Each structure stands twice: as C-alpha cells, then as structure tokens.
C-alpha cells in the first residue's frame, strides 16, 4: 500500500497536493498504477495465442485507449455505437462493438463510422444480418462480423452447432459483410467464487466456443477468431489455446469488486475524491457524494481512511462510519474511496483528474460518457 492509499489527516501524513486543486466529487486516476496495470495485462498476453482488444466501456477515455494500444493491443472494444464514435473521433482506428446493432438510425451511424475506421460488430439474428448487409452496400463499406455464440450467459448469442453454422453461412453469403469469427463472452462467470469453481466452469463453458468453431469448420468454413473474456476470467480463458482475442476492460483502472474476487495482480488506479461536509455526531461523517457520484449496484465503496467504512447512500450524500483515528476527520477534509463498480461510476463524470506522486498533472475527458445509444 502506497502513502496515497492511506494519506489523510487520520494517518499522520499530509494530504496529497492535488486535494487542494480538485473540487469534489471528482474522479481521480493514478497514472503510475494505470500504466502498471496496462503493462501487467500486456505481459500476460505476450507469447500467448490470444491478442488483447481491451474493452473501453469501463474507462470511456481516448487517452487510456491510446496507452493500451501503445502497449500492444490490436484494437479497442466498445459496447455501443456512441462509444465507438467518441473513440474514433479521438483517432482510434480499429474498433469492435461487442454488441448487436439494430435499427435504421443506429445502422446509419454505424456505416458512417465504418467510412473512417475498421468496425466489427456482433450478430446473432438473421434479420439483423440482412439489415447490416443492406446498409453496408448502400454506404459502400464493409462491416466485419463476429457471430455471437451463447456459452452459458444466456443473454445474446445463437446456440453452438447448427444455429451458429446457419448464421455464419448467411454472413458469408451477404454482400457488404465479412465473417471474421465468433464472439463468446463468459460474462456470467466474471465474479464467481471461489476461484477454483470459476476456473472449472469457465473451462467447461468456453469449450462450447471451441465446439462451435469445430462444427463450422467441419462444414468447410474458416473461423479465424474467437473473441471474448473479461478481467475476472482472463487468467483462465486467456490460457486456452483456441482463444484469439481477449476483451478485458476493468483491469486498467480496477475497482473494489474485481479486487475482492481475485484481481491481486492489478492495482486500484481509480478513486473518487469527496469532501466531509458534516460531522453530525460521534462516529459519523457526511460526505458530498452519494448515488449520483458513486454507483451502488455491486455494493459499498472502500474508504481509504483507516477506521472509516461506508455506511449508507442518499442521492447527494454519503454516510461514513468512523472508528479509532478516523474520528479525527473534520469538516472540510477530503478523502478518497475506491468505487465498487468502476464502469458505471466512471459514466457519472466528465473528466479524470490524473495524478502522479500526489500531484495533479493532467485532466482527461471521459469522452464516451453517457454514450449509451
């Protein structure tokens, strides 16, 4: 644990210099930790069959995407057309939208996007394939397609075997489309505990992707890519010889949830800075951030003050329980916390305050914030 992890008036150390420069609530990014996380994942992938295409739905930031590409990533993954547009505006040239893109309004934007960067999309429906083909031909572009296969998440995706083969054949035959492989995302296993059960289930479920590949190739069609994986399963899925592309996202900034389920190789680079605005009674502090500043769907954030724990949320306030030296907190003190879920917390902010050794060195836009269309 670094000095900044515990720096506060209660830890007997001066607060970091950036505390006086940044108003709250604010999103803070430790650049050294971010850089180490990016390098750790790049080192894990090096020498393996799979390449890294990090998911930007967590960080939503052009600068972070560039750091990932500089470290060897082959491209960037997004969840929505809007996210892809924001990254393309920042110069990202190869983007996978790991989702089904449906409807004339989104398809019009998609083909315009394909005129300025390489775009891959997921498909799992015959009617959608026809729509994509028609839009691509009309725009004079080629859309790369991954046929999404359900490996147990039971969200999107066709079933392995005959349904997957039928859809692949349709994509191969469609004008304006290029079949590039399969998407197989084991999202249902990212947080499964204990880890050994996660390992066993992942190895079983991801064999469905291999079975789909074998079935399709037995019919004479080539499957070049199998793309999937998340931060919680990358040490398992990333070692499978048939995986060619990893879509991990949260590893770059990390959050308390992934740290709790085994992300020990990665550091929490992302924090939220808040101000104590009231000390209404012994053992309690009220801070200026609640549900509109930190998301709660995975649980409570981790407060980086010894003896302080999150107690409750309201819209604009957070209530913190104080014990021991944490009772020294006073109105006006600033504290940091690690959000339980980074993806949705980042989406609440317009910018990152980038710090190095406790000093504010840059401000980066959360360029894809709110780009859910």
Q: Rounded mean pLDDT of 359-373?
A: 97
Q: Rounded mean pLDDT of 103-128?
A: 98
**Position of tokens 């079975």?**
211
Q: Rounded mean pLDDT of 70-88?
A: 98
pLDDT at 10 over 50: no
In whole angstroms, what is the distance from residue 51 CA to residue 195 CA? 24
Quickly list H helices, 272-350: 342-346
Structure tokens at 166: 């039928």
- Over the stretch 133-152, which tens digit does the pLDDT of each residue have? 999 999 999 999 999 999 99
Whole-Å CA distances, 157 to 209, 245, 320, 350: 11, 17, 43, 33
Percent of the chain having pLDDT more than 90?
A: 96
Q: Rounded mean pLDDT of 339-360?
A: 98
pLDDT at 11 over 50: no
pLDDT value of position 165: 98
Q: Are 121 and 144 in contact (CB under 8 A)?
A: yes
In whole angstroms, what is the distance from residue 113 CA to residue 307 CA? 50
pLDDT range class, residue 158, cuts 50, 70, 90: very high
pLDDT range class, residue 1, cuts 50, 70, 90: very low
pLDDT value of position 13: 64
Whole-Å CA distances, 8 to 45, 306, 344: 37, 9, 26
CATH architecture of the region 93-248: Alpha-Beta Barrel (3.20)
| Average pLDDT of the chain, as a whole number | 96
pTM of the model: 0.95
pLDDT at 67 over 50: yes
Whole-Å CA distances, 71 to 53, 65, 68, 83, 101: 11, 10, 5, 21, 29
- Over the stretch 174-216, which tens digit does the pLDDT of each residue have? 999 999 999 999 999 999 999 999 999 999 999 999 999 999 9
Show the CA angle centred on residue 278, arms to residues 275 and 280, nearest 5°.
150
Is the CATH number of domain 3-29+264-365 3.90.700.10?
Answer: no
- Over the stretch 272-296, which tens digit does the pLDDT of each residue have? 999 999 999 999 999 999 999 999 9
Domain spans of the chain, in order of start? 3-29+264-365, 93-248
pLDDT at 2 over 50: no
pLDDT value of position 14: 82
């Amino acid at each position: 644990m670094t000095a900044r992890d515990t720096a506060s008036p209660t830890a007997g150390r001066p607060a970091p210099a950036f505390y006086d420069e940044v108003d709250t609530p604010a999103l803070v990014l430790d650049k050294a930790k971010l850089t180490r996380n990016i390098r750790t994942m790049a080192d894990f992938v090096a020498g393996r069959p799979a390449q890294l295409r990090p998911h930007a739905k967590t960080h939503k930031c052009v600068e972070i995407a560039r750091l990932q590409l500089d470290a060897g990533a082959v491209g960037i993954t997004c969840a929505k057309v809007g996210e892809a547009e924001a990254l393309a505006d920042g110069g990202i040239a190869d983007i996978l939208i790991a989702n089904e893109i449906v409807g004339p309004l989104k398809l019009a934007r998609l083909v315009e996007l394909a005129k300025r960067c390489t775009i891959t999309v997921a498909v799992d429906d015959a009617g959608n394939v026809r729509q994509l083909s028609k839009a691509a031909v009309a725009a004079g572009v080629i859309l790369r397609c991954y046929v999404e296969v359900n490996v147990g998440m039971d969200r999107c995706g066709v079933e392995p075997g005959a349904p997957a083969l039928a859809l692949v054949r349709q994509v191969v035959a469609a004008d304006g489309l290029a079949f590039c492989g399969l998407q197989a995302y084991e999202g249902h296993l990212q947080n499964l505990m204990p880890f050994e059960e996660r390992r066993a289930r992942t190895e079983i479920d991801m064999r469905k992707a291999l079975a789909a590949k074998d079935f399709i190739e037995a019919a004479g069609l080539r499957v070049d890519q199998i793309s999937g994986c998340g931060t919680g399963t990358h040490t398992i899925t990333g070692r499978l010889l048939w995986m060619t592309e990893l879509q991990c996202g949260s590893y770059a900034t990390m959050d308390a949830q992934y740290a709790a389920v085994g992300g020990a190789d990665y550091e929490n680079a992302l924090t939220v800075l808040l101000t104590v605005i009231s000390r209404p009674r012994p053992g309690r502090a009220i801070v200026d951030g609640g549900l509109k500043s930190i998301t709660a769907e995975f649980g409570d954030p981790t407060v980086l003050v010894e003896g302080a724990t999150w107690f409750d949320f309201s819209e604009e306030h957070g209530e913190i329980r104080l014990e021991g030296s944490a009772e020294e907190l006073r109105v006006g003190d600033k504290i940091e916390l690690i959000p339980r879920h980074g993806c949705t917390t980042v989406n609440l902010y317009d910018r990152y305050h980038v710090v190095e050794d406790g000093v504010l060195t840059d401000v980066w836009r959360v360029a894809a914030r709110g780009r859910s269309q």
